[in-house]
Amino acid sequence: MGRKKPDIATAIILEKRVTDKDGLHPVKLRITYQRRRKYYAVKGEHYSVDGFTAVTSPVGRGKNKEKRKTLEAIENRAIEIIDDVLVNFSFEAFEREYLSHKVRNSTVADFFEDKTKELDEANKVQTAILYRSTLISLLKFDKKITFQKITPGYLEKYQKWMIEQENSYTTIGMYMRNLKHIVNRAIDARIIGDYPFGDPKKGKYKIPGGKNKKKALTLKDIEKLFSYTPTDKNEYLALNYWILSYLSNGMNMVDIANLRYKDLKGDNIEFIRHKTRDTSKEVPVIRVYRLKEIDAIIKKLGNSDRSKDNYIFPIFLKGDDGITKHKKLQQHIKQTNKYIRRIAENVGIATEITTYWARHSYSTILKRSGAPIEFISEQLGHQSTKITRHYLDSFEDEHRERFSTILLPQTDGTKSV
Domain boundaries, the chain: 8-100, 108-202, 219-403
Average pLDDT for the chain = 86
Task: Kindly report the CATH class assigned to 108-202.
Answer: mainly alpha
Residue-by-residue DSSP string for 137-163: HHHHH-TT--GGG--HHHHHHHHHHHH
For the segment 293-319, the average pLDDT, to the nearest whole number, is: 96
Task: Please tell me the pTM assigned to this model.
Answer: 0.62
Quick check: 390 pLDDT over 60?
Answer: yes
CA distance 9 to 343: 59
Reported as a pLDDT band with limits 50, 70 and 90, residue 270 is very high
For the segment 59-82, the average pLDDT, to the nearest whole number, is: 88
**How confident is the model at residue 61, as a pLDDT?**
86
Quick check: 57 pLDDT over 80?
Answer: yes
For the segment 110-116, the average pLDDT, to the nearest whole number, is: 90
Q: Identify the three-state secondary structure at position 228.
A: coil
DSSP 8-state assignment for residue 8: E
CA distance 261 to 289: 15
For the segment 387-393, the average pLDDT, to the nearest whole number, is: 71
Phi/psi at 104 (nearest 5 deg)? -55, -40
CA distance 259 to 290: 14
For the segment 143-149, the average pLDDT, to the nearest whole number, is: 92
Closest CA to 380 of 403, 397, 359: 359
Q: Identify the three-state secondary structure at position 268.
A: strand
For the segment 135-160, the average pLDDT, to the nearest whole number, is: 95
CA distance to 197, 398, 400, 408, per residue, from 403 (Å): 39, 9, 5, 10
Which residues on adjacent β-strands are paired with residue 14? 27
Q: How are beta strands 264-265 and 36-47 bridged, if at all? A: unpaired
**Between residues 177 and 103, which one has the greater pLDDT?**
177
For the segment 127-152, the average pLDDT, to the nearest whole number, is: 94
Report which residue type is found at 69. K
Greatest mean pLDDT range, 86-95, 183-192, 216-225, 269-278: 216-225
**How confident is the model at residue 415, as a pLDDT?**
41
Cβ atoms of 399 and 214 closer than 8 Å: no
Question: How many other CB atoms are there within 10 angstroms of residue 201's CB atom?
Answer: 7
Question: How many other CB atoms are there within 10 angstroms of residue 399's CB atom?
Answer: 13
Phi/psi at 268 (nearest 5 deg)? -125, 160
Report which residue type is found at 43. K
Report which residue type is found at 336. T
Quick check: 31 pLDDT over 50?
Answer: yes
CA distance 5 to 83: 6
Cβ atoms of 60 and 68 closer than 8 Å: yes
**Between residues 377 and 310, which one has the greater pLDDT?**
310
Reported as a pLDDT band with limits 50, 70 and 90, residue 404 is low
Task: Kindly report the CATH class assigned to 219-403.
Answer: mainly alpha
**How confident is the model at residue 178, as a pLDDT?**
97
Query: Minimum mean pLDDT among 76-85, 204-213, 360-369: which range?
Result: 204-213
**Between residues 29 and 371, which one has the greater pLDDT?**
29
CA distance to 40, 52, 79, 86, per residue, from 4 (Å): 22, 29, 9, 11
**How confident is the model at residue 395, as a pLDDT?**
56
Which residues on adjacent β-strands are paired with residue 46? 26
Q: What angle do CA 217, 284, 13 make, to 5 degrees?
A: 130
CA distance to 32, 76, 117, 123, 356, per residue, from 81 (Å): 14, 9, 26, 31, 48
CA distance 259 to 272: 10
Q: Identify the three-state secondary structure at position 205.
A: strand
Q: How far is CA 380 from the centre of its chain?
A: 15
Percent of the chain residues past pLDDT 70, beyond the cut: 89
**Between residues 234 and 67, which one has the greater pLDDT?**
234
Q: What angle do CA 380, 325, 310 make, to 5 degrees?
A: 75
Cβ atoms of 206 and 198 closer than 8 Å: yes
**How confident is the model at residue 4, as a pLDDT?**
64
Reported as a pLDDT band with limits 50, 70 and 90, residue 231 is very high
Quick check: 250 pLDDT over 60?
Answer: yes
**How confident is the model at residue 416, as a pLDDT?**
41
